[in-house]
Amino acid sequence: MNYEPKPINTDRVVLPPEVENLVEKLARNTHEIWSKTRLDQGWTWGPERDDAGKRHPCITPYENLSEAERDVDRNTAAGVLKTILALGYKIEPARETDNPQGES
């Protein structure tokens, strides 16, 4: 198979400060989704990755991850936000009446 990925070019996209603030929240949620998926598949925490035994050291709260591991999630989150903007969409904070969870 000769596959050549062609992601949307986001090199010139700069996240505005109000969107930049979302990166950490999305990174944390990305990790939570990944962890829940793994746990649902029968994986557990382990000091070393063991695919056969379904153990992984990153099945842990986000704040327990190394900075390098958190950067993986941050880069994913920033990439998604930049792609949304590159596609011409706007990201705006919710008005208080639109935000039932009270997050901004």
The tally of CA atoms less than 13 A away on the side-chain side of residue 29 is: 8
Which CATH code for domain 17-90? 1.10.490.160
Global model pTM greater than 0.95: no
Which tens digits make up the pLDDT trace of 41-98? 999 999 999 999 999 999 999 999 999 999 999 999 999 999 999 999 999 888 877 6
Provide the residue ranges of all domains of the chain, joining segments of one domain with +. Answer: 17-90
The tokens for 93 are 């904070």
